[in-house]
Each structure stands twice: as C-alpha cells, then as structure tokens.
Chains A and B, each alone.
Chain A
Amino acid sequence: MTPPNRREKGLVRPYVVTDGRAHPTRNTFDLVTLVVAARDRPLGGLSPEKRRLMQLCMPGALSVAEVSGHLQLPVSVTKVLLGDLVDSGHIITRAPIPKAQLPDAQILQEVLDGLRARL
C-alpha cells in the first residue's frame, strides 16, 4: 500500500517556478525521455530550480520522470524547466521512442530477452 506522503509543500508555488507557464516551449518530452546536462554551459543567470536541475543532471543521464522525482517537482513543471534548458543548450535529450512508432517486434524481443535474463 502506498504510504501517505509527508513531504512539506515547497514555499514557492509551481507557477512561480515556471513564470506562470503551464506548458513547455516544446512538446517533445515523454516521461521516459532521457536527458543529460551539457557540461560546458555557464549556470550563472539560471533560476534556483534550473540550477538544481542542472546539478542533478550533470553526472549522467536520467529520464524526465526521474528528474521530477528527485527534484520533487510535478512532471508538468519539470517539463517546462527542461524545455527552457533545451532551448538554451543546457540540456540535451537522448532520442526517446518516436511517438508515432508502434512498439516494434525488435524492441519487444529485447525487452523479453532482458526480462528472461533476470530470472
């Protein structure tokens, strides 16, 4: 059973973090889009949340969902921040599964093989 969440709500409301925006500048993020920080970009001038996001993503790749979970920010807010950071060259996305593409047999076979190896 899911335990009750005791985390205190942040002092800053989500719409402040995103400058009032509910949608990212690009709509290419899925929950499992993989993102990684560009290491050569200056962090000066970034908001505290974006700076936190950059620090989280600096050591290696994570999915959008993991970024949201680690930063304890709603997925929608995380996507807005990531959209800005992709626009400014701070964040690079690794190819997600193209949306229109149906799960093909090859990927499913790889998933199946991977799961069987776990038994």
Chain B
Amino acid sequence: MDSALASDDVYLRESVRTAVKLLVVGHFAVGKTTFVGSLSEIKPLRTEETMTQAGAFVDDLAGIKDKTTTTVAMDFGRLTLSESLVLYLFGAPGQQRFTRLWQDMTRGALGALVLADTRRLEQSFGVMGLLEEHGLPYAVAVNHFDGAPVFPEAEIREALDLLPETPLVSCDARDRATSVQALIALVQYLLSRTTPHQENV
C-alpha cells in the first residue's frame, strides 16, 4: 500500500471529519467479504445482529406463530481517502427478510456495488430488487471466478435486465486494483446522477 494516508492503525486520523459508506452486496458466496478485505486498510471487522423473524412456515392450525432467531453478520472495512474523508465498505447479506438491517445499512449510504457470478446470475435479482426498493443507486460488478463462463457484456446486461445507464464492470475480488476500479465505476455513475446534463468524467 503506497498511499501516505493508508494505515494499519485501529483509529482514524485526527483530521478525519466526514465518513461515508458504500455497500457491497450480493448473494451467498459471491465474494463480498473477499472484496471488502482486498480494499480495507484495517483488518475487516464483523458486526452481528440477532434478528427475530416470523417463521417461513407458520403452523396456523396450532394458533402459534413460530418465531426463530437468526444471527446476521456484516463484514466491513475502511479506506481513508483524504485528510478529512473516510470511506466505509459494508458487505451486506442479500436476504429479503432482514428488513431492519437493510434500513440501517442503506440509510445515508451513497450507493451500492452488486457483485455477481456468471454461474448464478439469476441469484442477483433478489438483492437488486431490494436496492431498488430502498432507492439506492447501484452498479454491477461481475466477480471473476476461475472456470466461470465469460459472456459478452450485452448478454449479461440482458440476463440481469439492467437499465442502460447502470454500469456493468468486471473485477476480481481478490485483486485490489480491479476492485478499486469497480468502485470508481460506481462513484462515477453516482456523480453523473447529481448533474444529469453534464459530463463529469
């Protein structure tokens, strides 16, 4: 790590005043934790929340609502971007049922990067739907897995039913440079949305 701002230190620099967050989302085992780990200047941390949820199969005949508790883990990392600005990356589970967790995560987030796997593209729909529900803009990054099929961009766009303006990039979550580039594509897109009639890039 060559940046003078980077640090293995636990604590933030004195001069940091603004913290922003981006979400890294996707289905199970798509590489969220790896992606966060490649970029973070600190050892990624994990927070956990115990969720009470109504059971999926409710035995109404017995008149008892079945409740179960689930532990939801969220891995996150940190990147100091300037003297005063720090970026947090939250790797978020894509399950629909953790509504409160999603509200907490999406509140104040700048946007989200959806990680996708060409072997299981259809599994990305759930999380993309959740982002749209929460009004969070996103870009899609196809995470490269060894041996996974490579499709032309147009085919992936069609398979994921992406809007024409939604950025689609590829990355290798194990590789810092391609992961940074995926985030850059996302932030360029977010920036372009703030001034729709101007070219920002």
Known contacts A112-B191, A114-B82, A2 near B16 by CB under 8 Å: no
CB interface residues, A 86-116, toward B, < 8 Å: 94-97, 99, 102-105, 107-116
Q: Which of A62, A68, A103, A116 contacts B12 (CB 8 A)?
A: A62
Q: Which of B16, B82, B195, B200 contacts A34 (CB 8 A)?
A: B16
Interface size on B, residues (CB 8 A): 53
Q: Which of A1, A103, A119 contacts B33 (CB 8 A)?
A: A1
B89 vs chain A, min Cβ distance (A):
11
In this assembly, does B169 line the interface, its C-beta being within 8 Å of a C-beta of chain A? no
**A119 — which chain B residues lie within 8 A by C-beta?**
177, 180-181, 184
Q: Establish whether residues A31 and B180, one from each chain, have CB atoms under 8 Å apart when the complex forms.
A: no
A103 vs chain B, min Cβ distance (A):
5
Q: Establish whether residues B191 and A30, one from each chain, have CB atoms under 8 Å apart when the complex forms.
A: no
Q: Establish whether residues B107 and A2, one from each chain, have CB atoms under 8 Å apart when the complex forms.
A: no
Q: Establish whether residues A30 and B12, one from each chain, have CB atoms under 8 Å apart when the complex forms.
A: no
Q: Which of B47, B73, B184 contacts A112 (CB 8 A)?
A: B184
CA distance A54 to B176 in the complex (A): 34
Query: In the complex, which range does the number of interface residues on chain A fall in?
Result: 35 or more
Q: Establish whether residues A118 and B180, one from each chain, have CB atoms under 8 Å apart when the complex forms.
A: yes
Q: Which of A68, A111, A117 contacts B3 (CB 8 A)?
A: A117
**A102 — which chain B residues lie within 8 A by C-beta?**
194
Q: Establish whether residues B11 and A107, one from each chain, have CB atoms under 8 Å apart when the complex forms.
A: no
CB interface residues, B 159-201, toward A, < 8 Å: 176-177, 180-181, 183-184, 187-188, 190-191, 194-195, 200
Render B84-106 as a binary contact track against A, CB cut-off 8 A, 1 for contact. 01111010000000000000110
CA distance A28 to B39 in the complex (A): 28
Chain B residues within 8 Å of A, Cβ to Cβ: 3, 10-12, 14, 16-21, 29, 32-33, 42, 45-50, 71, 73, 75-76, 78-79, 81-82, 85-88, 90, 104-105, 107-108, 110-111, 176-177, 180-181, 183-184, 187-188, 190-191, 194-195, 200
Chain A residues within 8 Å of B, Cβ to Cβ: 1-2, 5, 14, 30-34, 59-63, 65-66, 68-70, 72, 74-76, 94-97, 99, 102-105, 107-119
